[in-house]
Amino acid sequence: MGRAPCCDKANMKKGPWSPEEDAKLREYLEKHGTGGNWIALPQKAGLKRCGKSCRLRWLNYLRPNIKHGEFSDNEDRIICSLYANIGSRWSIIAAQLPGRTDNDIKNYWNTKLKKKLMGVINPISQRKPQQAALFSSLLQATSLPSSPSSLLSSSFTCSNNSYYSAQTRSFTEPISFSSSPLSTSSFATASMLQPRETFLGPVQNDQVKDNLLVFGGDASCSSSDGSCSNQMSHVKEEYHDQYGGCTNNNNEQMGVQNYLYNGVGDDQKLMISSGAAAHGGVLNGLWPGDNLPDYGLEEIKQLISTSSCNSFLFDENKTGEKVMYY
């Protein structure tokens, strides 16, 4: 049985919003709110728009406190950092940047930030030995667990006594991570596991200190949809893929493993696999090689980890205690 369309598209206006439409929508929402039903809203508000379209317009543009314009360096860094660890989870990234929407960040990433990073990827691709050394030093710097097994046997304790068990690969309920400091040994995975509201609060500008990113504080709802939904079901899947059964990317994962077990230590294994498997990323060679037709997620992540963004991830002056607080 087919699914009914959310609205009668034939009678719906599409395309850019006029100031009049904006005014109608804003006025209605300020008076009545959404009433919990976006589908019915356009009719009530006297708009010939799809409910989805209204919702998007409100959340991406009309909603109060939306920040438009240039992204700051701190915001750049935050985006880089989170992208390197969680990939294109724009809503989660947006939640860390008050006033920014996921659409904004997505656009910004696709049009500017990615290119910025691409500008330095070529030189890196020519430095395999150095990169290996860099990887090594980065991993040392980040104090990752000594082996994947140490992670697999770990659990994440949460503020309200719920926790994630790697052995059972499940969360107890209720799910909530502590916002107290976590060492980077937890970061690679914990950051992928966090529900946005509880684990990562919005990053305040003054929270980026001494090249260390500090997360915490109140949650925000800055996705394009303004949503604050719990991400954990998705995260569970991700984690399952990562350490359990990666069904979609077996080849890539095998490729990772082959590489890992031939070339690098366990620390590296963890770091690489956490990114690669979690996203089902395409590994066009972790070392950008002779054939590099396109830069995949991993290359970008690698780049982020090794170049322009890493200065805030790692305190370059303190090789012994490189701890990020989240």
Angle CA 78–161–142, to nearest 5: 35
State both tokens at 202: 């919005």
d(CA 129, CA 114): 25
Closer CB to DNA, 112 or 209, in the complex: 112
Q: Does 248 bind DNA (CB under 7 A)?
A: no
Instruction: Select from 8, 31, 33, 68 the one that contacts DNA (CB under 7 A).
Output: 68
Instruction: Decide if residue 57 touches DNA (CB under 7 A).
Output: yes
CB contact set of 148 (below 8 Å; sequence gap of 6+): 266, 269, 270, 273
Q: Which of 277, 269, 220 is nearest to 243 (CA)?
A: 277
Provide the minimum distance between the beta carbon of 216 and DNA in the complex, in angstroms, as a whole number.
20
Binding mask 174-213 toward DNA (x if CB under 7 A, else -) reads ----------------------------------------
Q: Which stretch binds DNA (CB under 7 A): 3-11, 152-160, 172-180, 255-263?
A: 3-11
Q: Is 239 in the site for DNA (CB under 7 A)?
A: no
**To which H or E segment does residue 155 belong?**
strand 155-157
Contact between 1 and DNA per CB under 7 A:
yes
Binding region for DNA (CB under 7 A) out of 30-38, 246-254, 270-278, 300-308? 30-38
6 sits near DNA (criterion: CB under 7 A)? yes
Q: Answer whether 87's CB lies under 8 Å from 319's CB.
A: no
Choose, by CB under 7 A, the member of 37, 65, 167, 168 that binds DNA.
37
- Residue 53 engages DNA in binding (rule: CB under 7 A): yes
DSSP code per residue over 211-266: TEEB--S-----STT------HHHHHHHHHHHHT---S-HHHHHHHHHHHHHH--H
CB atoms under 10 Å from CB of 24, counted, come to: 18
Q: Does 164 bind DNA (CB under 7 A)?
A: no
Q: Which is nearer to DNA, 223 or 268 (CB)?
A: 223
* Among 48, 63, 169, 234, interactor with DNA by CB under 7 A: 234
Rg over alpha carbons for the chain, rounded to the nearest Å, is 21
Q: For residues 286 and 95, is the Cβ–Cβ distance under 8 A? A: no
Asked if residue 39 binds DNA (CB under 7 A), the reply is yes
Contacting residue, 74, 136, 178, 227, with DNA by CB under 7 A: 227
Q: How far is the CB of 99 from DNA (least distance, A)?
A: 13
3-state DSSP assignment of residue 5: coil
Structure tokens at 167: 């052995």
Residues near DNA (CB under 7 A) are 1, 3-4, 6, 9, 13-17, 34, 36-40, 49-53, 55-57, 60-61, 68, 88-92, 102-104, 106-108, 110-112, 115, 223-227, 229-234, 237
